[in-house]
Each structure stands twice: as C-alpha cells, then as structure tokens.
Structure 1
Amino acid sequence: MSLSFDLFWSFRSPYSYLVTPRIAELVRDFDVTCNVRIVYPIAVRQADFFANADPLWVFYLMRDTYRTAEFLGLPYRWPNPDPVYRDPATGTYPAEQPHIHRLSHLGVAAAERGRGLAFIEAVSALIWNGATDNWHEGSHLAEAAARAGLDLAEMDAAVAADTAQFVAAVEANQIDQRKGGHYGVPLMVVEGEPFFGQDRFDQLVWRLEKKGMVRR
C-alpha cells in the first residue's frame, strides 16, 4: 500500500519554496503521496509575530535562505511584491491583504483537484526564483497554473463562488498543523510524526524508507 504524508505549506515561506522541488522529485520517483495542506503565513495568523521577534531572527533568516538556495542550486530572491503586504509606515501587517488570501485559496483549490503539489511547485518558483517582477500581474499566474495542469480562471471562479469554504479549509489545515506537532512551515507529518523545516527533508525520506517506501 502506498505511503503518504501531509505537507503544511505557505506561499510566503522561503523555506517552503526551497523544499518543494525535492518533495516533487520524491513523489515522482517513489510510491508515496504528498497531501498538500495550505496554511496562512505566520504574519497573517499572528500579526505581531515579527514585531516581537529578536532582530537577529530576521537577519539570520535572510542570510540562511540565500545560502540554502545557493547550496541547493536554486535561483532565489525575495519576492516583488511580497505575498504578504507590510505597511511601510507602521511596520505592521494589516488584516486586508492584496495577495496572500487569493494565493492560499487557489492552493486549496489545486489540492482539491489533485494538483496541489504541481501548483505550489510552479507558483512558488514564479514568486521566489527572481526571474519575474510583478508576478501577480498579467498572465504570470495563469501560465504557472497551466504548467501545473490547471485553469486559473476556473479556480478563481470556484473560490469567488464560495470563499467561506476555502477560508474554512485553510483554518482546518492550521488546526491540523498544530496537531501534527508544530506551527511553522514547511511541516511534513508522517503518521503523526512531525518533520519541521526544509533541513528535515532527508530525515523524512529516511523515515518513509523505514516504513517501506519503494521506487515507482
């Protein structure tokens, strides 16, 4: 019987972007299923998180993400625009956000259509690889969705028709994320065992192999 794991994932997380190609390769090569569970970023779930963080937290994150991308051979740049809007005057994250809710709900829609992993791989590359400014404009998102085998207009329409359903799905994912053992992303959970962070990918593979994962 095929193994599976949950992947709790955010469009604003650089580490989520950095681990996604390896997870996609794992699923392509091995008999294992990845259940994509989209959550809102910590800046949306807990708006004062960064205000209360030690300044070294952000300094290290920026240094480490660029280093990790270089180590992995992945193109990387902080997105323009940031998926989560920060008010430059106050340094706070307002409740009304121009991008992250749409992205998150589209991620839920993609997962419902069985293309969640393909969608987050294509869209996170668009947002984070530095090749495209203003990734939210024009046909960029539609083309990324098409690469994942999806119709962006159809998904946008589905979200608009019942937004509350998609909000509830994200919130349910966030509850299950904490039940899985952590509040951060990327978080991979295998039969109740949490693996937090892109640097736990090798241990995730090791655990899956111990549970009998085989090549396709």
Structure 2
Amino acid sequence: MTLSYDLYWSFRSPYSYLVTPRLATLERDHDVTCKVRPVYPLAVRTPEFFEQQDPLWVRYFMVDIFREAAFRQMPFRWPRPDPVQRSPEEGYRMQQPWIHRLTHLGVAAAERGRGLPFLKEVSHTIWSGETDGWHEGDHLARAAARAGLDLAELDDAVAADPDRYVAIVEENQVAQRAAGHWGVPMMVFNGEAFFGQDRVDQLKWRMEQQGLGRR
C-alpha cells in the first residue's frame, strides 16, 4: 500500500530547502508519495510577523540555519537576490513578483507529478550559494530540466490562468492552518502535522506504524 502525505513548503524558507533532500530520499527508498502544496512565505502573507519579533529571534535564526546546513553537509548562503523583496519605505508590503512566480511554478510542477524534484532542484539553485542572480538567464530553466520539466511550458501554463494558481496557493494556506500550524516546512500525514525540518524521523516513524514499506 502506497502511503501519502501533504507537504506545505515555501521557496523563501531556508528550512524548506534543508529538508527537501531527506524527503526526496524518503520517497525514493520507500513506498510513499509526497503531495507538494506550495504556500507563500510569512513575509508575504503576514509581513507584520517580522516587524514584531524580538531581536533575539532573528539572531538565533541566522545562527541556526547556518549551523543546520553545516550539520547536514549542505551548501548554504542567503540567496542573491532574496526571493522576497523589501524596501525601507514599505518593508515587505510591496509587489513580490519573484516569490509569486516561484510559488506558482511549484504548483504547476506538482500538478505534473514532479513537485518534489522541482522543489529540490530550484531551492538548491536559490539557497546553495552556487548561483548569483538565480532569477536571471537559464538558471531556473536548467533546474527545471533536472527535475524533468520544461520551465517555458510551466510559465506558459501559469500565464494562461494566473488566478487559478493564486487560488490553489490560497487553498493550500487554508488547509495548512486547518491541519494545525502555519509554518514551513510542514508535513501532514493522516491528519497529523509534523512542523519543522527536524521532524522527518518522526514522520517516517509514524508512517512505519501504518505499514510503510521499502520500494
């Protein structure tokens, strides 16, 4: 019996980047499928979240993401440019074309059954530090190709019906909160939420209780 779970995931989340290879390995080695459900990052959904944080939160966050990347032996650097733009006047309350495009492309990839490979390849391009200007040239096209997809075809699909992709993301965000949390990465299996990149072992453990088998 093939098991499945929902993955709520953001292209602006370093922890989403850091968890994806382990989820890809889980799907490669075990009889389980991941239903990718991209969401907009908190900076877009609720920009006031970052305006209200204690300065210690930011300091610890920056220490922890670099430490986690080193622990996982994954290349890491804050993206250049940041997928979410910020201005001194508006903060995050401004037009966000990059993160909207990425999120909608993620939806399109998921609809073609290549959601997890797309997340893995694109997030590596954005977060690994190996690519400056990830939004320019053919960087995203090559990442999509590695995931078995055609970036131009994905872009055309989104452009043909942009409101539908916005609606799907918004539905994902409603479902995410209904499942018990608002953060990413968040995996939901049989109605149980596993929030955070450090919950993969618990997710697998719970699946094993429900008969998870190896491929």
Question: What range is the shorter-chain TM-score in?
Answer: over 0.9
Unaligned ranges ≥5, structure 2: none
Contact 2:145 2:151 in 1 (8 A): yes
TM-score by length of 2: 0.98
Matched with 1:105 is 104
Matched with 1:182 is 181
Matched, 1:115 2:114: yes
State how far apart, in whole Å, the 1-side matches of 2:199 and 2:56 are.
22
State how far apart, in whole Å, the 1-side matches of 2:98 and 2:179 are.
27
State how far apart, in whole Å, the 2-side matches of 1:207 and 1:56 are.
34
3-state SS in 1 of match to 2:49: coil
Matched with 1:191 is 190
3-state SS in 2 of match to 1:189: strand
State how far apart, in whole Å, the 2-side matches of 1:152 and 1:174 are.
24
| Structure 1 segments of 4+ aligned residues over 4 angstroms from their partners | none
State how far apart, in whole Å, the 1-side matches of 2:97 and 2:189 are.
34
* Equivalent residue letter for 2:54: D
Post-superposition offset of 1:95: 3.4
State how far apart, in whole Å, the 2-side matches of 1:166 and 1:95 are.
20
Unaligned ranges ≥5, structure 1: none
State how far apart, in whole Å, the 1-side matches of 2:141 and 2:14 are.
22
3-state SS in 2 of match to 1:49: helix
Matched, 1:53 2:56: no
Matched pairs, number? 215
Post-superposition offset of 1:48: 1.1
Matched, 1:32 2:32: yes
Matched with 2:42 is 42
Q: How does 1:7-86 map to 2 (within 5 A)?
A: 7-86=7-86
The sequence identity of aligned pairs, in percent, is: 66
3-state SS in 1 of match to 2:79: coil
TM-score by length of 1: 0.98
3-state SS in 2 of match to 1:106: helix
3-state SS in 2 of match to 1:34: strand
Contact 1:85 1:94 in 2 (8 A): no
Contact 2:2 2:31 in 1 (8 A): yes
* Equivalent residue letter for 1:49: F
* Equivalent residue letter for 2:128: N
Matched with 1:124 is 123
State how far apart, in whole Å, the 2-side matches of 1:55 and 1:202 are.
31
* Equivalent residue letter for 2:106: G
State how far apart, in whole Å, the 2-side matches of 1:56 and 1:134 are.
30
Query: Please, what is the CA RMSD of the aligned residues?
Result: 0.8
